[in-house]
A = this chain, B = another copy of it.
């Protein structure tokens, strides 16, 4: 066997290549309505106290605690404060003011008596003129009063840098009157698929196939929290590939390619990129052996082989974790499960078989190991990771699986 690059070595090379792009994203300001799932670029401090003003936690009556120390006690109803009442109200000592949840507590009042602990003994709910309320329970000063700033004081951090914005974060921002938020710009990924065999429209002629890799990479990129900035395709003509590569590089933070990278003739990606410094390598893995990395105008180019299973496995093994991390998405850590049936592997290569988790929680290989089995891959929900030096595993053995 020729000596091959290991999966770990190639993963480290790609991580190094992408680090400058992924670790320092520019900040962009977006309306909070569009910010779900984005990552806060910086600490956000509140310009206001929350609550904005001292308000009632209950529907009831605002009074002075001193006036209801002995109960029952009848108090004149000197006012009414619905929520949203726009005029400040002052409590005359020895009286009560009807108040709704969320309404500003009148100056002079220091507690709220819930409506359940009161009864109107004169007047009606819908006409409080001359009304009198009987208070049946004492309340301490401060009870059922939400003090201004008791949730968050003006100047405090309401959102920490690096937070992935969930509904509860957006709600807090909205409550503080914040309408726009600075978030990390999504990573812009250009996608190029190559090959003279790719059909250019809805019909595949003799010897042609439909391009499965364009949509595979685009949706993998989207799912990993990045954005697809360019999608293009070329046949095996170097000038055609250079044209789409130039457009992809101009609009992207990084570019993914599929196909054209192995040792045969007509390998357009290798042909164009190797002379300008691409590192073309064979990885000790199956599928996904031929791989390359390059840089064009400072933009990292990650080159995958063109078989559709190879492309998807390569993205999953080498790029997914990095993009998810940049997007603030939780890592999809490989985990250990039991094999439902024996599997075979090949010498000198780490193999990623397509697997399906059974109802018992074990994993079973589905489809064959060949990298063209694109429909077979759709039946899988994990990759089974078979170490390089293992040729055979019995049913019941523990294996590592990667969630797809």
Contact = CB atoms under 8 A, between A and B. Distances in A.
Chain A facing B: main interface SS? loop
B151 A373 contact: yes
A197 interface: yes
A186 to B, nearest CB: 15
Nearest to A380: B168
10 cross-chain pairs, A with B, having the tightest CB-CB distances, nearest first: A84-B196, A59-B264, A84-B197, A152-B375, A172-B378, A171-B216, A167-B219, A175-B212, A83-B197, A171-B212
Contact of A100 (B205, B210, B218, B264): B264
B171 A32 contact: no
B212 A174 contact: yes
Contacts of A215: 32-33, 167, 170-171, 174
A324 B219 CA distance: 20
14 contacts: A52-B209, A59-B262, A84-B196, A84-B198, A86-B208, A103-B197, A151-B375, A168-B404, A169-B378, A171-B378, A176-B210, A177-B199, A177-B203, A179-B202
Contacts of A262: 59, 101
Contacts of A375: 46, 50, 151-152, 158, 172, 175-176
A174 B220 CA distance: 14
Interface of A: 32-33, 36-37, 46, 50-53, 55, 57, 59, 82-88, 98, 100-104, 115, 125-126, 146, 151-152, 158-159, 166-172, 174-177, 179, 195-199, 202-220, 222-223, 235-236, 262-266, 306-308, 312, 367, 370, 372-378, 380, 404
Contact of A219 (B83, B170, B211, B263): B170
Contacts of A219: 36, 166-167, 170-171
Contacts of A175: 209-210, 212, 308, 374-375
Contact of A172 (B102, B169, B220, B377): B377
